[in-house]
Amino acid sequence: MEFDTDWRTLGKHRIRLRSAKGFPTEVMHQLAEMTRTAVDNNMSARARVVDIVFRQEKTYDITVGSTVAEDRICAPQLEAALATVMGLVPDQVNIFVRIVAQEEVDLHFGVYERMLAEKVGAVPPIQ
């Protein structure tokens, strides 16, 4: 069992929270909720928050999976907005948008989120 990992389902997002300093805190849960809201309102309907990692250097790495390449355009603005709301320096929030070809994922609810997480590398493939 991994004590540095927690899973949250927020709307259509299935997010893995990982912390280098132990179990994910309430601050990480708040960041996950704000990230979900930001992605839902600023990226395409295919974008999903997949992974949020809290590093030792007090930085948050957020991975978003999508099948729409244009979703990368708004990542810098979302980084700055999330950092401001969380009271962090903009360099402490990094959003990585990983684009997956639509042919590689099944678009059915639940399956899409799992396949995106596998393609991004957040979870191992089901054997």
pLDDT tens for 9-61 read 888 898 999 998 888 889 999 999 999 999 999 999 889 999 999 998 889 99
- CATH fold label, 5-120: Macrophage Migration Inhibitory Factor (3.30.429)
57 φ/ψ angles, rounded to the nearest 5 degrees: -80, 15
Q: How do residues 87-112 score in pLDDT, each as one tens digit?
A: 999 999 999 999 887 776 665 556 67
Sign of CA dihedral 48, 51, 54, 60: negative
User: What digits encode the pLDDT tens for the residues 56-85?
Assistant: 888 999 999 988 899 999 999 999 999 999
Q: What are the boundaries of each domain within the chain?
A: 5-120
pTM of the model: 0.83
